[in-house]
Structure 1
Amino acid sequence: MNRRNLLKASLALTTLGLPTFPLWAKTLGEDSPGKPFDFEWLKQHAKAMADKPHKSNAEDLPDTLSNLQPLDYQKIAYDRAKALWHGNSDFDLRINFFHVGMQFDVPVRMHAVDPNTNTAREIHFRPELFNYDSSGVDTAQLQGKDLGFAGFVLARNPESDIIDEAGAFLGASYFRFIDENKQYGISARGLAVDTATDDTEEFPDFTEFWFVQPENDNRRVTVYALLDSPSVTGAYRFDIDVQKKGTVMDVDMEIFTRKPIERLGIAPMTSMFLKGTSQPRGRDTIHPQVHDSDRLEMWRGNGEWVCRPLFNPKTLQYNAFPDENPRGFGLVQHDHDFDNYRDDVAWYNRRPSLWVEPTSDWGAGEVALIELPTVGETVDNIVSFWIPQEPVEANQHLHFSYKLHWLPLPPVGPTLAQVEKTWSGMGNVPEGWIPGDRSPEEYARRFAVDFVGDELDDLPADTDVEARVEVSRGKLGMIEARRFEPIKGYRAIFDWVPESDSDEAVSIRLFLRAGDRPLTETWLYQWVPPKPEDRYY
């Protein structure tokens, strides 16, 4: 299922639910005792699992579910009156659940936790909780089977006619939340294993969830999760704060490895970039920009702010940015101007940003950025996560904690001016001139980077502003930095000129300064030059 169908499934199933906490006895039977549960128990359970060989969590679904088409899957509906915590007036949050079906064949077990007794009882699947009208599902094939669920939705204001979702967990260890613009976009994952390596990527599953009943709080809920895969198990605690502007999640994770992992990704996030200002021909479409995120933003441990605009490459591109105890990083949708997208179906101007804020000692490592080629907007082709520097061996116990901020923009920003937009086009020509026939030897690529912020807006007019540019290979042609009054900022312009026939990627670094004083965050970019036979205008 692609990300757009997943989104549609999420929206279609928000009206559905399961028994409330007070209805346990009726749902599970009077003889269903609760089992002791707390985070320490979950950690020990995950560790014990890691000491044993992995067993596949997938199950053979009845044909009526395994053969479902996405549109039919979306027609399966729940009874809203049976959402978890429905009818409790002390808080507005509710939990609704996804049905198993199609490729969602890993049964996810759900548990409700009584915070007064620290006991948990399983919430069992029953066909009677669902409405299968017009879905084509043969309910006779479901009788007497405890199929579990595929995931869940956290919803707000459940009594209204319009369900107001906060976020959803669905598929492997994927989850995503929205902000005040109420539009899904970027996704997070519990863990990434061997992404963009020679080994086959592994997608760990959240196989069980535990929901702690809120205590007279309309915004906050605690969710625990068990993660399992051939290489690793994990115990997770999510403290989810549903705020007006978005959602903030405190994540505490303990992972236990079964075997060595070549590339372990912490706090992974997945997004889509098809085309933007620097790459308008990423696809021939009527929309000027198409992306869920437009940049990777990093606040390094040494205090430097870095902006890395995203790119839709012709081949897979992998970049790693070394750091120690990063202060934060995230995939950001910086541009929220509707006129720059002109899309009233996908509403890319409303997509949230996702910012990772470490809250424990992460030590040395690197922020990874993986960009995959795509010609369609329904495929997530951007991945970013943190990689610990120390090799990950078998039988290890690792701990990380961090906050996830699902907001229109990150909760923090540099005191220096920021990158507004990146532009790219033909170089080695005067602005406004139409070039004549030119040989590949005259080829150059021009870049323009616009910076805005108080640091630049308040500069005296006679300030000598310099664009400091570095390239990994090739040479620089013209370079200039000038006041760009329409945006009340500055524009840096430079030409990159090849010195060989190589079409390997070029790394570029740029910032503005006045004397020895930096004025802007650092702009990083990767440019893949065309082959010599394609170097023409």
Structure 2
Amino acid sequence: MNRRQFLEASALTPLATLLPGAVSAASAAELPFGPSYVRDLARNLASKPFAPPEEKVPDALKDLTYDQYRSIRFLPERAAWRSEKLPFEVQFFHRGFFYKNRVDIYEVAGGRAVPIRYRRDDFAFGDNIGQVPDADLGFAGFRIHAPINRPDYYDEVCAFLGASYFRAVAKGETYGLSARGLSIDTGESKGEEFPFFKAFWLEKPAPGATSVVVHALLDSKSATASYRFTIRPGAPTVFDVEMSLYPRIELQHAGLAPMTSMFFFGPNDRHDVDDFRPAVHDSDGLAVFNGKGEQLWRPLNNPRDLQASTFNDLNPRGFGLMQRERNFFAYEDIESRFERRPSLWVEPIGDWGEGSVVLFEIPTKEEVHDNIAAFWRPKTALQAKSENNYTYRLHWGPDAPKPNSLARFTRTGVGARGDDSKLFVLEIVGDGLKAVDPNKVRGAVSADKSEIKNVVTQPNPETGGWRLSFQCAVKDAPIELRAILMQGEQPISEVWVYRWAP
């Protein structure tokens, strides 16, 4: 099992076993549903001892292979809201394989929540799967479809499947990195805890609606939480997220707005790589727009040892894992189409206080593993029995919303210059570079414990931008590097920050 499969394989359990007054999808009862309904459930659940989730499935679903699970298909003609020709449709994932966990799903309409029943006949099963009973199995998750690319076809826009994972695409894109509801103890020696979505409530959209609302209840040993996602497909696809978090115990290492991605290799990092492709990654860098108004760009690595980077901040303006390289010839992969993978930008709404953007880079020898994680970690521990409210916006698309006119780093290339020296070649593009005085442009480069030599800046006629190159002695690695393009004493680019480690 790879890292992504493990993270997505946590278990869920019906609401009726944990919450007084709540019903599972087995019940036909309707419940009044208001704005605070799921938040009240989360608060109530946090006051009770954690009940370990259950994974029991029928014998026919216990030991499915990957191919067997993929042969189970939800029938598109049975999609929720299809017969009413609404602007959104919902299809459901079957339980089995790594997704044995039960999720209860409800439709909300007219102020009432009605369970969506599992029906065996809504699925087509492969020839090698045994008899599945027509019982109340619940679901593993769901996906939302909408006419995002053309008006006559409902494309898959987003999916919620496994643990607290979800992902989305914008117009013209394919799936890549994932978001999560919450991370706990990521990177800690005692091991990570994996919260999971227990139930969802889908608000039925009105005819002509441009957004759809999804509510979610999260549970784990250490905390519960409620979420309200307002999802607007397009270019980009945007999620407005309202989160209320209720720790059962003091949370020293909570990760808010977490995301996971894959970086196998690229022009800056080809250690022991023998591959016909120039690069393989879902994301190529971490971007941060901090509370001081400074924009940072941190290219990703596939390190030989686990690397953790912390960017301390006060009231961040945004951060995210980006896929800036959008040229097919940078990847040469006809099947994976990495140039179409989305970037994910987190835009905090309101003040988040003191804390840090945390980046973990994990060694991997295969591209099937998610080896990159990023999130916001509050400086102060979240207290047990407290309520913590956060609002933020997720932008899924080709790039982050540009906060200002500063030029951006688009490529980091690294090559050998002797036994103990490296040549760094950085490409910088931006509309503002067209008006600079070439005689006043310079690169400002520094390193924490190394000497920088041969700093060269020059226009790049092929990109319409500038190239900044320099040499750095790397004998005393790891080395923290920092570079910025200046016009006189005025910054004209974001700040490039990088950790060189062999």
TM-score between the two structures when normalised by the length of structure 2:
0.91
SS at match of 1:103: coil
Q: Would you say the 8 A contact 2:436–2:487 is kept in 1?
A: no
The reply on whether 1:71 has 2:67 as its aligned counterpart is yes
Letter in 2 for 1:166: V
Q: 1:174 to 1:5 in 2, by over 3 A?
A: closer
Q: Is 1:147 the equivalent of 2:127?
A: no
* Among 307, 314, 324, the residue aligned to 2:297: 307
Question: Once the 2 structures are TM-superposed, how far is the Cα of residue 215 of structure 1 from its aligned partner?
Answer: 1.6
Query: Which residue does the alignment assign to 1:508?
Result: 481
Unmatched segments (≥5 aa) in structure 1 = 7-27, 429-439, 530-537
Question: What's 2:444 paired with?
Answer: 468
Q: 2:121 aligns with which of 120, 123, 128?
A: 128
- Match for residue 168 of structure 2 among 156, 169, 177: 177
The answer for the alignment partner of 2:108 in structure 1 is: 113
Aligned length: 483
Q: Could you tell me which amino acid in structure 2 is paired with residue 202 of structure 1?
A: E
1:365 maps to which of 355, 360, 364: 355
Q: 1:352 aligns with which of 336, 342, 345?
A: 342
> In the TM superposition, what is the alpha-carbon distance from 1:161 to its structure 2 partner?
9.5
The farther-off stretch of 33-42 and 104-113 is 33-42
Aligned to 1:528: 501
For the 8 Å contact 1:280–1:288, the answer to whether it is kept is no
Structure 2 letter corresponding to 1:248: V
2:395 alignment counterpart: 405
Q: Give the aligned partner of residue 138 of structure 1.
A: 131
Shift of 1:103: 2.1
Give 1:246 deviation, angstroms.
3.3
**Which of 253, 257, 262 is the aligned partner of 2:252?**
262
Determine if contact 2:450/2:476 at 8 Å carries over to the other structure. Answer: no
Q: Quick one: structure 1 residues 168 and 259, their matched pair in 2 at CA, closer, same or farther if it must change by over 3 Å?
A: same
CA distance in 1, matches of 2:126, 2:499: 51
Rounded to whole Å, the distance in 2 between the matches of 1:403 and 1:129 is: 34
Q: What displacement does 1:218 show?
A: 4.0
Contact between 1:110 and 1:209, CA under 8 Å: does it hold in 2?
Answer: yes
Query: Which amino acid counterpart does residue 455 of structure 1 have in structure 2?
Result: G
Q: Determine which of 406, 416, 431 is the counterpart of 1:454.
A: 431
Superposition misfits of 4+ residues, deviation over 3 angstroms: 1-6, 157-163
SS of alignment partner, residue 440 of structure 2 = coil
1:166 to 130, 154, 157: 157
Aligned pair partner of 2:275 in 285, 288, 294: 285
How far 1:175 moved relative to its partner? 0.4
Is it true that 1:381 corresponds to 2:371 in the alignment?
Answer: yes
Q: Does the alignment pair 1:444 with 2:421?
A: yes
Which of 313, 329, 338 is the matching residue for 2:319?
Answer: 329
Aligned counterpart, 1:25: none
Aligned counterpart, 2:330: 340
* 1:96 partnered with 2:91: yes
> Structure 1 residues 413 and 289 mapped into 2: Cα distance closer, same or farther (>3 Å)?
farther
| Mapping of residues 419-430 of structure 1, within 5 Å | 419-427=409-417
Q: Match for 1:475: what amino acid?
A: E
Residue pair 1:306, 1:524 contacting (<8 A) in 2 also: yes
Q: Does 1:214 align with 2:205?
A: yes
Higher mean C-alpha displacement, 399-408 vs 413-422: 413-422
What is the identity, as a one-letter code, of the residue corresponding to 1:251?
V
What's the TM-score, normalizing by structure 1? 0.86
Q: For the Cα contact (< 8 Å) 1:274–1:282, is it kept in 2?
A: no
Residue 22 of structure 1 is matched in structure 2 by none
Name the aligned partner's letter for residue 398 of structure 2.
P
Q: CA RMSD in A?
A: 2.2
- State how far apart, in whole Å, the 2-side matches of 1:414 and 1:80 are: 43
> Cα 1:43–1:275, aligned 2, differ >3 Å: closer, same or farther?
same
Identity %: 37
Q: CA deviation at 1:162?
A: 6.5
Are the counterparts in 2 of residues 5 and 70 from structure 1 also a CA contact under 8 Å?
no
- The answer to whether residue 248 in structure 2 is matched with residue 275 in structure 1 is no
- For the residue of structure 1 that corresponds to 2:462, the secondary structure is helix
TM superposition shift of 1:351: 0.6
Offset, 1:446 = 1.6
Q: What is the aligned partner in structure 2 of residue 494 from structure 1?
A: 470
1:148-171 CA-to-partner distances (Å, cap 9, x unmatched) read 100001012599997511110000
Which has the larger Rg? 1
Instruction: For residue 281 of structure 1, report the CA deviation from its aligned partner.
Output: 4.0
Matches of 2:142 and 2:2 in 1, distance apart? 18
1:235 equivalent in structure 2: 226
Q: CA deviation at 1:427?
A: 2.4
Q: Which runs of 5+ in 2 are unaligned?
A: 7-24
Deviation at 1:475, TM superposition (A): 2.1
